[in-house]
Copies of this chain bind each other. A is one copy, B any other.
């Protein structure tokens, strides 16, 4: 359930959220976390997004990956974009742990998806990362295979934990504590309801840039609980899932709209920011079967207004997911005594109240 903003009367956008207002509102999507808080210097973890139940390796889903600003170490993108599909869960972790997490994901895929009579000899693991080194001793690389397996095996289609969990454990945004945020939107197309969900890992932004639903909160809270921190320029990973039938090209277009959601929170994509968006559609499964010469698929007609609704849903859900990560996070002390303060929610609410005529509150 991700109603922390809405319960405070802050509604981002105009489209309705799904039942839990998280990415698992997309049928078949599951999310799991492993959170690692150890001693005074480990604040990190791993988050798994499983696009679809069943054997994802042998029944892949359409996907696309977009680099907004490439100062980042995400892996798996060239093959996603060449073949237009994804064959593993998507894992998020910290910058220096990508190699180990990638290796663990290969083990898990072999364990989980192998079938008799076929050998899995090539796997394209998909991992994205942000840098949690302000709070976490990143050189230590503590995320091990068992942590990855736990995140994957505990992944659940029933709820998504937000805030200081999983890959979000050590992250910061706008010099507040950040973490994992997730949201969803319902879109009615041709009389039927579809869902688009987002899970994001925001780790970017200078304090004064933060905007919440057009209120310049970052300026009002310019010095609130702020530490002298290095110009940690951060990054963000946005994962977008949907059951709307979209082709690879259309998923590229959707993923690119993540930028607008980021911009609406005040983000401006600094030099040192690794900003990546991955989008997948579960509507058509692609059998890993060389004997199937043709596939009959349905896809959205992007001639008409329908695709604009998909773009709008993406932008709103990305914006809200970033804010939800902030509203769900708790103040955290980590490596070298560094302290990231949580967003002071009561104070934020008072800023909204002062504004009074705020149209969307």
Q: Are A72 and B78 in contact (CB under 8 A)?
A: yes
Interface residues of A (CB under 8 A from B): 67-79, 81-84, 95-96, 98-106, 110, 119-125, 131, 133, 138-139, 141, 189-190, 211, 214-216, 219-220, 231, 233, 245, 247-249, 253, 256-257, 259-260, 263-264, 267-271, 274, 276, 286-308, 311-312, 315, 354-355, 357, 359-360
Please, which residues of chain B bring their CB within 8 A of the CB of A301? 286-287, 289, 292-295
Residue in chain B with minimal CB distance to A190: B293
Q: Which of B75, B100, B312 contacts A73 (CB 8 A)?
A: B75
Q: Are B270 and A259 in contact (CB under 8 A)?
A: no
Please, which residues of chain B bring their CB within 8 A of the CB of A211? 214
Assuming the contacts A79-B70, A79-B71, A103-B141, asked whether A359 and B304 have C-beta atoms less than 8 A apart, the reply is no
Q: Are A359 and B298 in contact (CB under 8 A)?
A: no
Please, which residues of chain B bring their CB within 8 A of the CB of A104? 99
Known: A70-B78, A72-B79, A231-B305; 14 extra A-B contacts, CB below 8 A, are A77-B78, A84-B249, A96-B106, A96-B122, A99-B103, A247-B248, A256-B269, A259-B263, A268-B312, A270-B311, A290-B304, A295-B298, A295-B301, A297-B298
Question: Could you tell me the distance between the alpha carbons of A311 and B297 in the complex, rounded to whole angstroms?
Answer: 22
Please, which residues of chain B bring their CB within 8 A of the CB of A257? 268-269
26 intermolecular pairs with C-beta atoms under 8 Å apart? A69-B82, A70-B81, A70-B82, A73-B124, A75-B75, A78-B274, A84-B247, A96-B123, A99-B103, A119-B139, A190-B293, A211-B214, A216-B360, A219-B359, A247-B248, A256-B269, A259-B259, A259-B263, A268-B315, A288-B303, A293-B301, A293-B304, A294-B299, A295-B301, A297-B297, A354-B357
